[in-house]
Structure formats: C-alpha cells, structure tokens
Amino acid sequence: MKKIFYIVIFITCFSLQAQFSIKGTIDPDHDYSWILLYKMQNGDQTYIDNADVVEGQFEFEINDSEPSGIYRAYYQIENSLYVEFIYNKEEVEFSFDPNNPDISLSFSQSKENNVYQNYYKEIRSKQQKIDSIQVLYFKSSEENRYLELEKQYKEFLGELNEVQARYEKESMGMLANHFISASAQYNAESPQKDPNRYMDAIKEHFFDNMDLSDEELSHSTFVSDRLHDYVFYLNQAEDQNSENELQKDAIEKALQWIGDDMELLGSFESDLLEVFLLNENVEMINFVNENHYKKLPATYQSGELNKRVIATLKTAIGITAPDFSWSENGITNSLHALRGTDYYILLFFSSNCPHCQMEIPEFYKFIIGIENIKVVAVGLEDEKGSWEAMTGNYNEFINILDLDKWSSQKVKDYGVTAIPTYFVLDIDKKILAKPLDFEELKSMFETR
C-alpha cells in the first residue's frame, strides 16, 4: 500500500509541476503595463492569461493541459497589436520592438519558432528572387535576354526547392512542419511570358499544399490568412467593379475548396464580411451575406455581425439615412421632413458620457458659425434631467431625447456602438460621410 501511495504522490507532484514558461521582452521598453495571452483556433481566440510588464519584461506560466497551437500576446488589444508564435509544450522566450513587431520578433528560446522563422526568412528571400526574374521576363523583348533569365530562374527555383525540402525534413515531428509543408508556393518550371496565364496558374495551384484534413492546419490562423491572401491579394483591379467580379469568383472557388467544414466556412465568411464592412462595399456585403453567410446554420453565425451588416446596409455612404420621428411641443416631426439647409449633421451623444461632455461644447462653437448646416442631436439617456441641463446650452440644435439609450431603434438602425457618433447628410438626407471623430468632421467643413 505504501508503494502505491508514494506513486500517487509522485504523479500528483509531477502534474502540479508540469508547466512551461512563455517569456517576452519589449525592446525598447515602452509604457505597456500588461500583456494578454490568447490561443487561436478556427479563426477565434480564447483568453488564456494576463501578465504584468515590469521594465519591459513579462512571463506566463502555461499548464501542460493547454493545447499546442498558434498563440498571440496582445500588448495593445484595443488596437489589435500583438505578436504571434507557436506553442508546443516547450519553453518560449522572445523579444520584439512594438513599433515593428513583424520584423523585430526574435526567439532566444524555442526550437519550433526558430525553425519556422528561419524557414520563412530563407524561403521568402528565394521567392523574391524568382519573382523579380519573372517581372524582368515580362518586360524583356530580346531572345538572348530570355535565355539568360530562364537560366537564372531555374537556378533560383532549384535553390528554393532545396530550402523547402530541407526545412520539411528538419521540422519533421514538430508543429511547425504543418505550416512549413503548407507554405510551399507554386512556381512554374520556367518563367512565363503572359502575365494573365502566370496569375491564372498561381490561383489554380494556390491550395495544392494545404490539406484541410490536417486539423493542426485547418484550426489555425494559417488557413484564414491564406484565404485572405487568395481573395484580396491575388484579385485586384484598377476599378471597383472589375475587382468585385474577380473577388466574387475567388470567393466561390475558395468555398469549393473548403467544402462542408462549417467552422472554417463560418470563420472565412465572417472575415470577408468584416473586410467589406470596413470598406462599406455594399455590393460585396450583399454578395457574401445573401449567397452564403445567411445560409449557414445559426450556430455558425454571429448575431452581433448580423446587426452590423444590417446597419451598414442602411447607413452606407450614398444611402438615404434611415428616417425617424420625434415630438416637439406636441408637434411630430421627422428627419426626412426637415427642410431649409444644405447639410445636416446627425449627432448621437449622452449627457453622462465624459468624452461627450468635453467634445460637444467645442463642436457647438464650431458648427454654429456655419450657416448652411443644421444639427440633429440625439441624446441617448437614462433620465431626462442631465440631458435638459446639457442641451440647454445648445439651443441651435434640434435636440431629441431618447430614453431607450442603447436599445433604441435609432441606435440599431444607425449601428451606433460608441458616442459621440456623427453622420453628415446632404439636402436630400443621403449620407455623405461618417466622420470618425470631431477633428475629421471639422476638416470637412473648414475647407468649404
């Protein structure tokens, strides 16, 4: 019995001590007080831990139960600033310059990350040489020059293939091997004279080395990043209509490649919507949303994303602003019924918002000096008193009280997620601009 008891004690102690450290140094030291650690999977991120930054240094202790994969250390999460690395049950130590994390990231400990980083540097250098020769080949018109470039091209292609094979062998058994093998880029055996055929071949073979049955690969950010490149990097055009058509075709082909992997479909289509929402590309938002995203099972859709899609489609530049009504002195009025000026500024704010308390007085002083603008100010409030006290100073505004605050229909229709928020409308109530802040709005009218 004693022997069994000792074994139990040993196993228990070992399990308690099975931890790995992730250490980082921000160099040069900046004014960051903490770092957040997230695990990336299926396009989503799961919070793992946080650590204080002391004199530029931080450390996480990771339990052995945490899965291997791609991790992110966020040093400024509000601006999505992070460094990304592989964790695979080993000690990891790195340093980086937050002003240039991609180039400056360096690992002093972690075989996985050093192998992958060295591979990336070498393969990128070889690929850049091949690409530069291909560009010269497009431009050349002399037969002797063609022969010379073909020879150089094949030499560098041989070197690139050697680098690829060497790192695939060196990383065998590592998590990094999944990403190194999948990174192998298609290159024709000889340089191409026709740019269109060259691009078509790259697109045709883009997914050749990515195996979605490899769960380490399919659940990582690697695939989502490559899908993003396939749609947006390889399909650009001089005019928006042509680019939209190219990207529609690329999206359809990417979806065929993904097949029935619902998690990846949901992640890919939501990523597409995020990009098109950011650019307010109404045609592409509708294309992705109506043809694909809305057809996903509800569990793979985001309610918050659906709301933003609806709001963006209602408030995109050039769209007539959603109408709403209010009562003033017993008389009902509406946004669309307003007349008598060239421009309208629709302002969403709250009397209890500290930022609004600072910014709105400056906005009022600036805007009342411009004759052809009328401001419709919607107060998103919990109670009437503070709103009356604040708006009493703004008698040139059309002041509207909305006690529904964030559950207000106006908030939903306009997709308001922060205050103050501004919309600039023309005489017909079409949306001309959605300034990010007062300074941007100010610059629009200072030049008029």
For 23-62, how does the pLDDT look when each residue is reduced to its tens digit (9 = 90+)? 999 998 788 999 999 999 877 889 999 999 999 999 999 9
Contact 75, 37 (CB under 8 A): no
**Tell me, what CATH number does 432's domain have?**
3.40.30.10
315, part of any domain: no
Cis peptide before 195 (omega within 30 of 0): no
393, part of any domain: yes
Contact 37, 22 (CB under 8 A): yes
pLDDT of residue 227: 96
60, part of any domain: yes
pLDDT of residue 1: 45
pTM over 0.85: no
Q: Residue 161 is encoded by which pair of tokens?
A: 């293939």
CA 214 to each of CA 86, 322, 345: distance values in angstroms, whole numbers, following the listed order: 16, 47, 53
194, part of any domain: no
pLDDT of residue 42: 72
pLDDT of residue 78: 84
pLDDT of residue 2: 45
pLDDT of residue 10: 42
The range of the structural domain enclosing residue 86 comes to 15-109
pLDDT of residue 5: 47
- How is residue 260 annotated by DSSP? T
Closest CA to 80 of 39, 117, 36: 36
57, part of any domain: yes
126, part of any domain: no
Scanning 175-239, the segments in alpha helix (DSSP H) are 176-182, 195-204, 215-218, 221-228
**Tell me, what CATH number does 103's domain have?**
2.60.40.10
Domain boundary among 78, 109, 140: 109
Domain boundary among 109, 124, 142: 109
> Sheet holding 431-433: strands in order across?
398-402, 373-380, 343-349, 421-425, 431-433
Tally of domains in the chain: 2
283, part of any domain: no
**Which residue numbers in the chain have pLDDT < 50?**
1-16
**Distance, first Cα to last Cα, the chain:** 90
**Sign of the alpha-carbon torsion through 425, 429, 430, 436:** positive
CA 293 to each of CA 198, 263, 269: distance values in angstroms, whole numbers, following the listed order: 32, 12, 6
Contact 127, 157 (CB under 8 A): no
CA distance 139 to 134: 9
pLDDT of residue 342: 94
Domain boundary among 48, 83, 109: 109
157, part of any domain: no
